[in-house]
Amino acid sequence: MSEEPILQLKQIEKSFGETTVLRDITLDVKQGELITFIGPSGSGKSTLLRVVGGFHPQTGGTVVLGGKSIDALPPEKRSTGMVFQNYALFPHMSVYDNVEYGLKIQKVGKAEKDERIREALKQVQLDGYEDRKPSELSGGQQQRVAIARCLVLKPEVLLLDEPLSNLDANLRVIMRDEIRRLKEELNLTIIFVTHDQEEALSISDRVLVLKDGIVQQLDAPSVIYQHPANEFVANFVGHANLMEGTFKVEDGQTFFQAKKEEGLRFPVEGETPSNDSGTVLLRPEMIERDPESRHQGTVEKAVYHGNYVRYYISLYGESLFLDDNNPFHKSLLQKGEKVGVSFPKHLHVLPGK
């Protein structure tokens, strides 16, 4: 990955009539980087992708590709390849003809065309499927055709709008790995849209979190998950217990004291906020079952997930949930049972409201 941005969004604004759906969006994408746009339905992910692809001209700001503004260019002149959610394959045409389509429009010579089609089909592991119709392919294979149809045009940036949402859970994970592999093998620059937080965390170099057309955070997946910029990000990407409280020092030891309950107080390490109070993030896997702990709660609900059990507990009047990982050799607690829990020493404090 080189450090020069291949794609730059500069203060992008987009309104449909009176309604503003994107506000002041600035982003540099590096060559070979995979950036995911994530946010709830209606947050502006597709609109922003379409602005980049030239399908919706923005109402403010500039899109720069390879150092030049592409604002005046229509989609087909932009060197941005778009894969749509429904694949948009031509149903009556073979795989080969589908992939050929863009090259025909560009009037690429026969020999080169054939070579590029075969190369693109090989890249998505569909060599041998040239003569099939889309209806003779699985969902995953159709998705590969849609990607090959873009790759064959050698776009500088590949734009993928929820490309995996029509696939079943297992295939989604396989295709996610495929896209990562393609990105690495071909040094592709990709913008990937999803509303699935696990997908975003596992596929991306960086994640851009959108809410109501406003960027909430742009960071590496681990930073987004461990150090969310605000409550929205904390709750949208992963699950979160958010607890208000105060940091207090006694005999050289810092404690976090929950605002609601006197009894909920535990030692912490590391930096504390300058105003001594704040909302802390407790991911469910950060709270551990610990029979020895002085914090004894009551199980309100237990949900078995196989690889973990999620316990909803009440503790001194606070409602919390925790994930008990690897439950194979542990007793499964039932509603009403006592559960001891211990808290992490290092806490992420959300910025003040």
Task: Name the residues that contact Mg ion, by CB under 5 A.
Answer: 46
Q: Which helix (H) or strand (E) holds 134?
A: none
State the nearest-atom distance from the C-beta of 194 to ligand ADP, in Å.
10
β-strand 80-83 against 157-161: which pairing, if any?
parallel
State the nearest-atom distance from the C-beta of 179 to ligand ADP, in Å.
19
Nearer to ligand ADP, 208 or 299 (CB): 208
Residue nearest to Mg ion (CB): 46
State the nearest-atom distance from the C-beta of 50 to ligand ADP, in Å.
8
State the nearest-atom distance from the C-beta of 43 to Mg ion, in Å.
9
Selection from 151, 134, 150, 147 nearest residue 95 by Cα: 134
State the nearest-atom distance from the C-beta of 197 to ligand ADP, in Å.
14
At CA 180, angle to CA 194 and CA 9, rounded to 5?
Answer: 55
Find the helix packing angle between 110-123 and 169-186, rounded to 10°: 130
Nearer to ligand ADP, 123 or 217 (CB): 217
Selection from 29, 75, 71, 37 nearest residue 53 by Cα: 75
State the nearest-atom distance from the C-beta of 350 to Mg ion, in Å.
28
Nearer to ligand ADP, 52 or 120 (CB): 52
Question: What DSSP letter does each residue of 52-121 carry, written as one string?
Answer: HHTSS--SEEEEEETTEE-TT--GGGTTEEEE-TT----TTS-HHHHHHHHHHHTT--HHHHHHHHHHHH
Residue 217 binds which of ligand ADP, Mg ion, none (CB < 5-8 A, kind-dependent): none
Alpha helices in 124-230 (DSSP H): 139-151, 169-186, 197-203, 221-226
Nearer to ligand ADP, 47 or 98 (CB): 47
Residue 228 binds which of Mg ion, ligand ADP, none (CB < 5-8 A, kind-dependent): none
Residue 44 binds which of ligand ADP, Mg ion, none (CB < 5-8 A, kind-dependent): ligand ADP
Tokens of 230: 């605000």
Residue 283 binds which of ligand ADP, Mg ion, none (CB < 5-8 A, kind-dependent): none
Residue 16 binds which of Mg ion, ligand ADP, none (CB < 5-8 A, kind-dependent): ligand ADP
Nearer to Mg ion, 46 or 197 (CB): 46
Residue 42 binds which of ligand ADP, Mg ion, none (CB < 5-8 A, kind-dependent): ligand ADP
Q: Are 286 and 341 in contact (CB under 8 A)?
A: no
Is 321 strand, coil or helix?
A: strand
Q: Are 174 and 140 in contact (CB under 8 A)?
A: yes
Contacts 24+ apart (CB under 8 A), 177-186: 178/124, 178/125, 178/144, 179/34, 179/147, 179/203, 180/34, 182/123, 182/124, 182/147, 182/151, 183/32, 183/34, 185/123, 186/123, 186/151
Residue 90 binds which of ligand ADP, Mg ion, none (CB < 5-8 A, kind-dependent): none
Nearer to ligand ADP, 50 or 149 (CB): 50
State the nearest-atom distance from the C-beta of 195 to Mg ion, in Å.
8
Nearer to ligand ADP, 11 or 319 (CB): 11
Nearer to ligand ADP, 153 or 215 (CB): 215
Interaction site with ligand ADP (CB under 6 A): 16, 21, 39, 41-47
State the nearest-atom distance from the C-beta of 19 to ligand ADP, in Å.
6
